C-alpha cells in the first residue's frame, strides 16, 4: 500500500488536525492517545541526538575496499572491548584465524559441499571509518576458499566478510572503556553464513576476551534514522523513502508507505531547524505528519502498527538488525551508530 501523489501534510497542517487524532476507532478500548503511543516509535526516546559530522571517505580509504562493503546486507552485532588487540598484528591474526577455521572445517562445520581447499582469512585496514581522530581505525576480515573442482589459476571465492568499527558511540563511555590494554570496536557487521560467523566469533572471543551480541533496531531508532537520513542529498539512484509497518493481525500483514523523496525532504526541512542535532519532538512531528496524511487517505491508524523497516536512496535497515548500504558508507554507519549504539555499549 503506497501513499497517493500530492505530497504529505506540512507541520502547519498537522497542528490543525492533531486534536482530532484521538485513536478512538483503532481498537484500543477507550484509552486514546496515551495507550496508542506505546505502539509508536517514540516511547522512552532520548530528547535529542547529535548529527555526526563526517569527512570525505575518498581521502582516507581505498575505493576498491569500499566497493566490498556496498550493496551487501550486513547483520549488526555489538562487541565488548578487545583485550590487547593491535593493528600492527593483523597478518598474524589472519594466520591464526585461518588455522582455527581449517581445524573447524575438519569437523565438517564451516563450509558447504564444494569449497574444500585453501581456506584462509585476510585482515585489512579501513582507516576512514571512525568517528574521531582518537578512535581506532576500522578493519575488515574476509574468509575465502577455493572450490574443490575449480580450474587452475582461478581466484578464491570470498565466503564470509565482517568488519569492526568505532564510529560515533557515546564519547564518555568509549573513553571509559578504552585503555592501553583495551581497544573499543563496539560495532561489528557481518555478511555470510551463521556457521562461519560463530566460528570467527569464537576465535575472537578466545583471542581477545570479548563477547558479541546481536543488535536489533527498535522502531524508535528506525524513526530517528528516517529523519536523519532525509538530510542526505543523493544525486544518483534517487528512490522513494519506504516505511514498512507490521500489522498485529493473523495472518501476518505489512503496510508499505512510500513517500516521494522531494516530499519528505520538504516536510523535514520545514520541521528541522538545528544544524548539529535532531530533537525528539522533530522526529515525532515528522511521523505525526506522515501518519495524519496516511489516515486521511486510507483511514488506517499507523500508530496501531509497528515500524519494522526503513529504506531510501542511501540504505535499507530492518528491525532485526540487518543493514544494506547503497550510497555513502560513512554517512550511513555514522548515523546508525549515532542513533542507538551508545545505549548498547554498557549493556
pLDDT digit string, tens, across residues 249-294:
999 999 999 999 999 999 999 999 877 788 889 999 999 999 999 9
- Is the pLDDT assigned to residue 306 strictly greater than 80? yes
pLDDT at 329: 62
Cell of 228: 536523519
Q: Is 208 helix (H, G, I), strand (E, B) or coil?
A: helix
The least confident of 17-26, 153-162, 180-189 is 17-26
- Is the pLDDT assigned to residue 310 strictly greater than 80? yes
pLDDT at 245: 98
- What radius of gyration do the chain's Cα atoms show? 22
| Contact of 230 with 241, CB cutoff 8 Å | yes
Residue 316 and residue 321: Cα distance in Å, rounded?
Answer: 11
Q: For the chain, report the end-to-end CA distance as a whole number of angstroms.
A: 38
Cell of 219: 522502531
* Beta strand ranges found along the chain (DSSP E): 48-50, 73-79, 82-83, 117-126, 138-146, 157-165, 182-183, 187-192, 212-214, 241-247, 253-259, 277-279, 306-311, 315-318, 322-325
pLDDT at 75: 94
Could you tell me how many residues make up the chain? 347
| Contact of 128 with 330, CB cutoff 8 Å | yes
pLDDT at 67: 77
User: Residues 290-305: pLDDT tens digits?
Assistant: 999 999 999 999 999 9
User: Residues 73-118: pLDDT tens digits?
Assistant: 999 998 989 999 999 999 999 999 999 998 888 776 555 544 456 7
Helices 261-271, 280-298: crossing angle, 10 deg rounding: 130
Residue 280 and residue 287: Cα distance in Å, rounded?
Answer: 11
Query: Phi and psi at residue 67, in whole multiples of 5°?
Result: -60, -25
User: Where exactly are the structural domains of the chain?
Assistant: 11-54+217-343, 81-210
Residue 272 and residue 265: Cα distance in Å, rounded?
Answer: 10
For the chain, what is the mean pLDDT? 76
Q: Which residue has the higher pLDDT, 37 or 184?
A: 184
User: Residues 129-168: pLDDT tens digits?
Assistant: 766 677 788 899 999 987 766 666 677 889 999 999 876 5
Its pTM stands at 0.77
The β-bridge partners of 257 are 243
pLDDT at 157: 85
Amino acid at each position: 500500500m503506497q501513499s497517493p501523489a500530492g505530497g504529505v501534510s506540512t507541520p502547519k497542517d498537522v497542528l490543525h488536525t492533531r486534536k482530532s487524532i484521538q485513536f478512538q476507532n483503532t481498537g484500543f478500548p477507550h484509552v486514546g492517545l496515551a495507550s496508542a503511543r506505546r505502539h509508536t516509535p517514540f516511547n522512552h526516546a532520548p530528547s535529542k541526538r547529535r548529527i555526526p559530522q563526517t569527512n570525505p571517505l575518498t581521502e582516507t580509504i581505498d575505493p576498491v575496499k569500499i566497493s566490498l562493503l556496498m550493496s551487501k546486507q550486513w547483520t549488526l552485532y555489538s562487541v565488548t572491548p578487545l583485550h590487547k588487540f593491535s593493528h600492527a598484528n593483523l597478518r598474524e591474526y589472519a594466520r591464526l584465524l585461518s588455522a582455527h577455521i581449517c581445524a573447524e572445517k575438519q569437523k565438517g562445520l564451516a563450509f558447504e559441499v564444494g569449497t574444500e581447499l585453501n581456506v584462509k582469512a585476510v585482515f585489512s585496514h579501513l582507516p576512514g571509518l571512525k568517528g574521531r581522530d582518537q578512535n581506532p581505525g576500522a578493519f575488515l576480515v574476509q574468509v575465502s576458499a577455493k572450490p574443490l573442482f575449480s580450474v587452475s589459476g582461478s581466484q578464491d571465492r570470498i565466503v564470509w566478510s565482517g568488519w569492526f568499527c568505532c564510529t560515533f558511540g557515546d564519547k564518555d563511555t568509549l573513553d571509559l572503556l578504552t585503555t592501553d590494554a583495551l581497544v573499543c570496536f563496539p560495532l561489528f557487521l557481518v555478511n555470510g553464513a551463521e556457521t562461519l560467523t560463530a566460528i570467527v566469533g569464537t576465535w575472537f572471543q578466545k583471542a581477545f576476551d570479548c563477547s558479541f551480541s546481536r543488535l536489533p533496531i527498535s522502531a524508535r531508532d528506525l524513526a530517528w534514522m528516517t529523519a536523519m537520513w532525509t538530510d542526505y542529498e543523493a544525486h544518483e539512484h534517487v528512490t522513494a523513502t519506504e516505511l514498512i509497518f507490521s500489522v498485529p493481525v493473523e495472518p501476518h500483514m505489512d503496510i508499505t508507505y512510500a513517500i516521494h523523496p522531494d516530499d519528505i525532504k520538504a516536510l523535514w526541512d520545514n520541521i528541522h531547524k538545528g544544524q548539529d542535532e535532531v530533537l525528539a519532538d522533530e522526529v515525532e512531528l515528522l511521523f505525526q505528519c506522515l501518519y495524519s496524511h496516511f489516515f486521511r487517505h486510507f483511514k488506517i491508524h499507523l500508530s496501531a502498527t509497528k515500524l519494522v523497516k526503513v529504506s531510501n536512496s542511501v540504505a535499507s535497515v530492518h528491525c532485526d538488525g540487518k543493514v544494506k548500504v547503497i550510497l555513502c558508507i560513512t554517512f550511513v554507519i555514522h548515523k546508525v551508530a549515532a542513533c542507538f549504539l551508545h545505549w548498547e555499549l554498557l549493556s
